[in-house]
Amino acid sequence: MTVTETHCPYCALQCGIALTPEIPRVRLEPTEFPVNRGGLCAKGWTAAELLDHKDRLLTPLVRKDPADRGSPLREASWDEAYERIVAGIERCQREYGPDSVGAFGGGGLTNEKAYTLGKFVRVALRSASIDYNGRFCMSSAATAANRALGVDRGLPFPLEDVAQARTVLLVGANPADAMPPSMQYLDAGRAEGARHIVVDPRRTPTAAGAYRHLQPLPGTDLALANGLLHIAVREGLVDEDYIRDRTTGFEGVRAAVAAYWPERVERMTGVSEADLRETVRLLATERPSMILTARGAEQHSNGTDTAQAYLNLALALGLVGRPYSGYGTITGQGNGQGGREHGQKADQLPGYRRLDDPAARAHVAGVWGVDPDELPQPGKSAYEMLDRLGTDGGVRALLVLASNMAVSAPHAGHVIERLRALDLLVVSDIFLSETAALADVVLPTAQFAEEEGTMTNLEGRVIRRRMALPPPPDVRTDLQFLSGLADRLGRGRFFSDDPRTVFDELRRASAGGIADYAGITYERIEAEQGVFWPCPAEDHPGTPRLFADTFPTADGRARFVRVEHRDPHEMPDRDYPYVLTTGRNMQQYQSGNQTRRVSALTVSLPEPRVELHPDLARRLGIADSDMVELSSRRGRAVFRARLNPGIRPDTVFAPFHWGGDQAVNLLTDPALDRHSKMPAFKACAVAITKGTPR
Ligand code: SF4
């Protein structure tokens, strides 16, 4: 039997797995790849179930009556599917202009597919309308890191460095549930006496194992960071030499944090002054130390400034660029890192270049063989695009790859309405997701074990996804779909469906950019167990650790940015008196389109549970396992209750992996961060009532 070494299809850890095609099912085992070192979580162990799942899409589907979205989907040939797509695109562009046709991508696409999708929209459609679900995931941390450090690479050091840190501050991060094999690094540090402090309104498994758990009110993480820096300044813990030699802008920040005295921050956040003082003293004195943020801190209407506040703290303590120290953000989606580097963002070209930069346009247009003036200008961000689907000036025809926004977008009820208003919705997926169920045309796409390509994990390590078996006969890769569609639009000469050819073009397009892949080849990735970008030449070793000597900014210095606490966009009031925050369960991944179909995972967790404190439950007459209805200004959702003494009594938590009336995003607030356009997923106001049994 041929054994193929590749990677788990799910999260950004990209654990190594070995696949052996066997009858009746592909055998899946972990490998000793450097990130997981033989470990896998329940999702990874069961990933092979996806390959021959009974729900698998095996042929294209189209509406029986093309003019009636309510008519049933029926099987169709690829030719018929293409005819419907091309007719819809041409009609929309004729009637409403080029930008009326757009695409929505995903952080699960391989680098080759993300790159091709961005190029397809700009070159084949000549449209500005593209963004992706990473806007809902990493955009705030990415914006802050670009602003402060001149580059956005989630972890600017290998994961193994975490094990060497004596102090780790984890803010809004729950790796014990989100990516369990990564806990081996935290556990190894703890076994050597390291102290970990977790900031989370809920006592997660990560918090339960930590040295200290701080439980702020959701939406106050920025005030907490400024409070920590205030104490550091007052106690002489900041690294004045580092600030002088390697940064700019500290005086403005020093002045700003003067107003965040500990008693005030304790009132704002609910975290005691003693815990604040202990935390910053450990970070400053028990070194090496590092600060890691994740979505709990970042998915807010002030998410960029919140990530910036922790960057300010890390810089002031002189952590960034020192061994086993620094600031990092923990990427979520499988290719969340590579997915945001190669041009599927509304404002971006490959190599992490800006679409509004004339030099970047000229370089990429040269690689693509088009005139720079032909390239559109930046388009709308993800929610701004979804909010206007089917309206005057909005997108009328949408291609969706690797995304299920009917479940994962904020204010999901509104997004579903907008999807229904489209003239043409085309969804490529492996299963009939909630979004695909609304589509005019559904395309069956190849899975992780059926395609070649590259992914970039949370460390910036570029790795190979390898084919272990061919896709079913009528299933195509997204590269085949896009190049075939480009062909039918008369632009086929610009596109290839061969991953290696696309990667070689991506290398040239990224050359000289921030995310420089020029020196990375498929052969090197295989030989070296992944290559860290930037890697500008084939004889360059790659860059596992950034910032040791300089920052990729104009003056080589990191930048402090003054940031101030603002209340969340929506605060509790008489009608909606509680704060809702959202997050992950260990058994599920993203919108659950894949993991909700895996039997072992659904047996272990068949439905979402809303977590609330026993004191709050008692006041509301709710017992454990009762049905509970949550309502916000935007909608209602129904969950079974789980009483959790480890959550703040003013806060409830619900996971985001389910659709229908269990979709927590029916409730969430689409208020956008002004810098990153990240919605405020992690704090909105809700009412709670005891519901009726399902
Ligand atoms: Fe897959 Fe992530 Fe689990 Fe690893 S931690 S097995 S990559 S889901």
CA 462 to ligand 1 center in whole angstroms: 16
Dihedral of CA 533/591/585/294: which sign?
A: positive
User: Within 13 A of 287's CA, how many CA atoms are on the CB side?
Assistant: 16
- Ligand 1 atom 6: the closest Cα is on which residue? 44
Between vectors from CA 565 to CA 561 and to CA 568, what angle results, nearest 5°? 130
Q: How many CB atoms lie within 10 A of CB 191?
A: 9
Q: Which value does ipTM take for this structure?
A: 1.00
Q: Of all helices (H) and strands (E), which one includes residue 427? A: strand 424-429
Ligand 1 center to 8 CA (angstroms): 6
Concatenating the DSSP letter of every residue in 11-37 gives STT--EEEEE--SSS-EEEE---TTTT
Atom of ligand 1 nearest to the CA of 589: 8
Note the pTM of the prediction, 2 decimals: 0.97
Distance CA 112, CA 104 (A): 16
CB-CB neighbours of 326 under 10 Å? 26
**From the alpha carbon of 45, which atom of ligand 1 is closest?**
6
Distance of CA 644 from the midpoint of ligand 1 (Å):
26
CA 178 to chain centre: 12
Nearest by Cα to 656 from 568, 600, 589, 570: 589
Going by alpha carbons, the residue nearest to atom 3 of ligand 1 is 41
* Domain boundaries defined on the chain: 61-136+335-497, 139-329, 578-690
Q: Could you tell me which residues come within 8 angstroms of residue 337 by beta carbon, excluding any fewer than 6 positions away?
A: 12, 138, 153, 154, 331, 456, 457, 458, 460
* Cα torsion 194, 200, 202, 206: sign: negative
| CATH class, range 61-136+335-497 | alpha beta
The pLDDT, as a whole number, for residue 691 is 79
> Which ligand 1 atom is the nearest neighbour of the CA of 9?
1
Q: Ligand 1, closest atom to CA 7? A: 7
- pLDDT, residue 56, reads 97
CA-based nearest residue to 256, from 219, 309, 216: 309
CA of 542 to the centre of ligand 1 (A): 24
Reduced 3-state DSSP string for 613-670: CHHHHHHHCCCCCCEEEEECCCCEEEEEEEECCCECCCEEEEECCCCHHHCHHHCCEE
Nearest CA to ligand 1 atom 5: 179
Q: Which atom of ligand 1 is closest in space to residue 35's alpha carbon? A: 4
Block means of pLDDT (10 residues each) for the chain, length 694 residues? 94 97 90 97 96 97 93 98 98 98 97 98 98 93 96 96 98 96 97 98 97 96 98 98 98 98 98 98 98 95 97 98 97 91 95 95 98 97 98 97 97 98 98 98 97 97 97 97 98 98 98 96 97 98 97 97 96 96 93 93 93 97 96 97 96 96 97 96 96 60
Ligand 1 centroid–CA 179 distance in Å is 6
* Spatial CB neighbours of 649, under 8 Å, sequence gap ≥ 6: 613, 615, 616
For the domain 578-690, what is the CATH code?
2.40.40.20
Q: Which atom of ligand 1 is nearest to the CA of 179?
A: 5
Distance CA(357)–CA(629), nearest Å, equals: 49
Between the CA of 459 and the centroid of ligand 1 the distance, in Å, is 14
CA of 44 to the centre of ligand 1 (A): 5
Question: Is the bond leading into 534 cis (omega within 30 degrees of zero)?
Answer: yes
- Fill in the DSSP letter of residue 676: T
129: three-class secondary structure by DSSP: coil
Task: Compute the distance between CA of residue 666 and CA of residue 239 in angstroms, rounded to an integer.
Answer: 46
> 234: CA distance to ligand 1 center in Å?
42
Spatial separation of the C-alpha atoms in residues 582 and 669, rounded to whole Å? 11
Element (H, E) at 257: helix 250-257
* Protein residues with CB under 6 Å of any ligand 1 atom: 8, 10-11, 13-15, 36, 40-41, 43-44, 179-181
Q: Please state which architecture CATH assigns to domain 139-329.
A: 3-Layer(aba) Sandwich (3.40)
Is residue 195 classed as helix, strand or coil in its secondary structure?
Answer: strand
Residue nearest atom 2 in ligand 1 by C-alpha distance: 11
Which residue owns the Cα nearest ligand 1 atom 1?
44
- How many A from CA of 354 to the centre of ligand 1? 32
pLDDT of residue 692: 64
Instruction: Read off φ and ψ for residue 268, nearest 5 degrees.
Output: -70, -40
Say what the pLDDT of residue 358 is. Answer: 97
Cα 568 to ligand 1 centroid, rounded to whole Å: 32
- Closest atom, ligand 1, to C-alpha of 180: 5
Minimum CA distance residue for ligand 1 atom 4: 15
Number of the ligand 1 atom closest to the C-alpha atom of 334: 7
Residue 557 Cα, ligand 1 centroid: separation in angstroms? 35
